[in-house]
Amino acid sequence: MEDQDSNPAKEVARDVFPFLRVYKDGTIQRLVATESLPPGLDSETNVVSKDVVIFPETGVSARLYLPNSAVAAADDEPISRKKLPLVVYYHGGGFFAASTASREYHSALNRIVAASNVILASVDYRLAPENPIPVPYADAFAALEWIAGAGGRSEPWLRDHADLDRVYLAVCLSLLLGDSCGANMSHHFALKLSGSGRALRIRGVAMIHPYFWGKDPIGAEVGDGFRKAMVDNWWLFVCPSEKGCDDPLINPFVEEGNGSGLQKLGCERVIVVVAGDDILKDRGRLYYEKLVGSGWKGKAEYLETEGKDHVFHIIQPDCEEAKIVFKRLGAFFNDDS
């Protein structure tokens, strides 16, 4: 990755504000979430993390997070008494920015794990444009199957600390959590698993500031042409589909009776979290309303944070509003009802 300032003669072929620039020589300059942090013990939260390679041939990996207290307790209690909810996490970034090691995500996930007392696997999928849609989806779903399947059972932290069989006996029990495009993927995976016959069942899905979109503006998008065009540009850049912003991957309401397919969502519980100043807010609220009205048999929750913008909990994980979100997530993950 090159810095434009160091080579002012370079010509920009496409500017995907605010995430990246593509230059005419093919160079890609990512502009956000570029600082990485290593795994290890976080002294502020007492959460420990490590990286595991899932598929060496593609580089897909995961960063695992575990309360350090669970590690210490392993020496004193039977393993069966220490099992924690397993949360599989997909980071945001428009499918073309950020990683599991990004400073913002690493810091926020330490806090989520500390507040929730869960074991969390943050998946590092390949990014567009080097790997266009649907590659990120394929990577993320394959990682989910590995984490909840034989690969996860062979990984010591997952094997010893993750509650894979608490409710469903021979099937794996986990929860999906994602923000922005990660929430988008969580939705599609919950649909994909519904009636699939796979030995994997998702207990709940937490969607934080979900990245859904569409060609025709709704809500605040109608009067905000700048941000409508900005988000249009994000999706059109990563997805080669001829359907544009009405591709079912980004607009879940364009097929099956304007969202009636949501009744097939393959999980028991969903929480949709939105931010009041986020241009994606109206799509998140619409998703919640469509889900509740679809005939889906699960339990849906909705949380809106007024006066905050997209992924504020990642950018400002120590603000009071973020702490409220983390507390609500913890209650969601640990709800046995």
Provide the annotated active-site residues.
180, 278, 310
Strand residue runs (E) in the chain: 12-16, 20-23, 28-30, 41-42, 47-55, 60-67, 86-90, 119-124, 172-179, 200-208, 269-275, 299-305
Quote the CA–CA distance of 322 and 301 in Å, as a whole number.
17
Quote the CA–CA distance of 180 and 184 in Å, as a whole number.
7
Q: For the chain, report the end-to-end CA distance as a whole number of angstroms.
A: 48
Quote the CA–CA distance of 289 and 280 in Å, as a whole number.
15
166 Cβ contact list (under 8 Å, min separation 6): 83, 173
Give me 287's structure tokens. Answer: 């998703």
Give me 298's structure tokens. Answer: 């699960």
222 Cβ contact list (under 8 Å, min separation 6): none
Residue 44's Cβ-count burial label (10 Å; 0-12, 13-18, 19+) is exposed
Q: If we measure between CA atoms, which residue out of 217, 213, 233, 236 comes closest to residue 225?
A: 217
Side chain identity at residue 193, one-letter code = L
Contact between 286 and 218 under an 8 Å Cβ cutoff? The reply is: yes
